[in-house]
Structure formats: C-alpha cells, structure tokens
C-alpha cells in the first residue's frame, strides 16, 4: 500500500492527514470549510484515493491558511506515498465537463514543481469560500508534491461547477499518473530518476 502520513502544526493551523493512493475513494474530511470538504470528497471519489483529514485552522479570519496548509500537507503526503516512483505511468490528461463548465487538466509526476493555471471564476465566492483559494490549494500541492500541473478552463459560467470540474479533473489525472504500468517496474524516465 502506498500511504503518506503528515502532521503539521503552525500558529495558523493544526493538521493531521493520512493519504492512501491505493484506496477506494473513501475518507473522513474535516477542513473547516463545507465547500472545501465537498471538493476534497469529489477528489477522493474520482481518484479512488483514501484520505483522513483533520484541520483546525484560524477560520474566523478566513479559509486561506487552512486551504493552503492542507495543500502543503496533501502534497507532502502524496510525494511520500509515491516512494521511488517505480512502475508508475507518470502522466495523465483529461478534458472534463461539468454541465456548462469544461476544464482541461494535464499532469506529469516529473519531480519538478510547476503550475500553469488559467482558470477564471465569474464570482469571488461560492458560499463563504473564496474562489481564489482554488489556485492557492493547487499551488501548495504542486510545490510540495514535485509535479507539473496544467489546469485550463475551456468554458464555464457557474463558479461551483468550475471548481468542481477542476477538482474532478485533477483527481482523474492523478489517478492515471500514479497507476502502475503492467509492462514495467522501472522508473519512467530516461534519467533513471524522477
């Protein structure tokens, strides 16, 4: 089983999480934000990862620190769970529709952190959640997981649907990239290292 566990405490958040890349899409998620819990639950469902997450954050300020720090911890847990990366497919890409929204996601487990993010939201909030925090989450994850991720909104008029398409497509490309190549157990790089 490919599992990563992280505990991280700062003056702004206290986070414990366990991520299982070989799960069934189940989890217990307590981020402090109902909308973000919903996005992470969708992420689990479509990646088939399992996640146990408890975050106590300074949510009376806003959700910024909690969302960013969860991205940091989830990225670190992901990197740890991958281990030496032998036998993984490495790449994933997906064009995902969510009603009127359409999001392109492409990913490389490259060992190099890079986020190309071209997603605009028509509203600043979904409920109490700031839509700019979607980018903060992905930036934190990418930096700590050592992956290259491209997210591009092709269409969309509803902020909830756009965010949902981002998280679902991200889940789909991660699922593809971490899946095991049945033809080899080598590291998928001409360098011999990722």
pLDDT tens, residue by residue, 38-55: 999 999 999 999 999 999
CB 68 within 8 A of CB 31: no
Token couple for 39 = 């996005």
Which tokens sit at 72?
Answer: 């940091």
Q: Is 102 helix (H, G, I), strand (E, B) or coil?
A: strand
Show Cβ contacts of residue 140 under 8 Å, excluding neighbours closer than 6 positions: 67, 68, 69, 70, 71, 72, 75
Is the pLDDT reported for residue 190 higher than 80? no
pLDDT at 188 over 80: no
The pTM score is 0.95
> For residue 194, what pLDDT is reported?
74
Strand partners of residue 107: 92, 149
**Three-state secondary structure call for residue 90:** coil
Cα separation values, 142 from 11, 77, 127, 150, Å: 23, 12, 26, 10
Comparing CA positions, the residue from 10, 138, 22, 2 lying closest to residue 77 is 2
3-state secondary structure of 129: strand
Name the residue ranges covered by the structural domains of the chain: 3-178
**The domain over range 3-178 is classified in CATH as 3.30.565.10:** no
**What per-residue confidence (pLDDT) applies to 161?**
98
pLDDT of residue 56: 98
Collapsing DSSP to helix, strand or coil, 61 comes out as coil
Exposure string of 35-46, with b = 16+ CB inside 10 Å and e = fewer, is: bbbbbbbbbbbb
Average pLDDT of the chain?
96
């Amino acid at each position: 089983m490919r599992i990563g566990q992280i505990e991280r405490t700062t003056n702004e958040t206290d986070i414990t999480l366990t991520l299982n890349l070989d799960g069934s899409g189940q989890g217990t998620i307590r981020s402090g934000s109902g909308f973000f819990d919903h996005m992470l639950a969708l992420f689990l469902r479509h990646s088939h990862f399992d996640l146990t997450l408890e975050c106590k954050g300074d949510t009376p300020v806003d959700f910024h620190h909690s969302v960013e720090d969860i991205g940091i911890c989830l990225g670190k847990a992901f990197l740890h769970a991958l281990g030496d990366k032998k036998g993984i497919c490495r790449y994933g890409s997906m064009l995902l529709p969510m009603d009127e929204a359409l999001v392109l996601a492409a990913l490389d487990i490259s060992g190099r952190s890079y986020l190309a993010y071209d997603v605009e939201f028509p509203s600043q909030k979904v409920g109490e959640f700031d839509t700019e925090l979607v980018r903060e989450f992905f930036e934190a994850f990418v930096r700590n997981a050592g992956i290259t991720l491209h997210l591009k909104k092709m269409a969309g008029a509803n902020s909830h649907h756009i965010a949902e398409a981002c998280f679902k497509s991200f889940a789909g490309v991660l699922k593809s990239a971490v899946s095991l190549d049945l033809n080899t157990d080598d590291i998928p790089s001409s360098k011999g290292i990722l």
